[in-house]
Amino acid sequence: MLSRFSRRCYCTSVHRPWLFLGLGNPGDKYKGTRHNIGFEMIDVFAESVGIEMNLVNFKAIMGQGFVGDIPVILAKPQTYMNLSGESSGALAAYYKLPLNRVLVVHDDTQLPCGVLRLQEKGGHGCHNGLKSVMHHFRGNREFARLRIGIGKPPGQMDPKAFLLQKFSMPTRERMDGALAEGVDALKLVLSKDFGESWRLFNVEQKYKHLRQHTILAA
């Protein structure tokens, strides 16, 4: 269990901590699959800011540290996607965090592959991981999300099979670029409240997709 000192240190900081939760499935079997892009985003962000993911608590692999002077808790629930809320709810409660200091990173089939979107709040969009998180937040949807587009299944492909499929080489390159942009998005969340800066990020992501589509169609 985390030490009381650790919790006291974080919660008495000048800045209230942020909790970033990446959703996915544990184990090598699911590594690199579309449904695990939330895990990947947390790992890439942790490496970029020098936070070690070396703790295991609340059914999650975790890391704690500071980005500038802002305390940050990173977590990857290990309960499997559909039970992500078991870990998420316990973490938020332990650190006594209001939900406006929680951000969930997850895959999204409603966004084109590699397109990101910051969202202040919202529903679950039939995403089972988000459903579980919202359930353990007592139905509250007032938490932020970083949605990472993975595109829709082609043709008549089973959606579940699509989610558990690894990225092709060209798509993998696109997702790696998106993860780098995701680092910038999470840093933006830490530095700016929801508002114009988040909106501008989303607009840039929208036009990035339109530019890509134009290039491919040319």
Helix %, strand %, coil % of the chain (to 5): 45, 20, 35
DSSP 100: G
CA distance 23 to 19: 13
Catalytic residue among 15, 35, 106, 213: 35
CA distance 211 to 46: 30
Residue 107: how many CA atoms within 13 Å on its side-chain side? 27
CA distance 18 to 74: 8
Asked if residues 73 and 18 have their Cβ atoms less than 8 Å apart, the reply is yes
Say if strands 144-149 and 116-119 run parallel, antiparallel, or are unpaired. Answer: antiparallel
DSSP 60: E
CA distance 74 to 144: 14
For residue 132, the SS3 value is helix
CA dihedral 105, 106, 111, 116 (to 10 degrees): 20
Active site residue 213: no
- Positions annotated as catalytic residues are 35
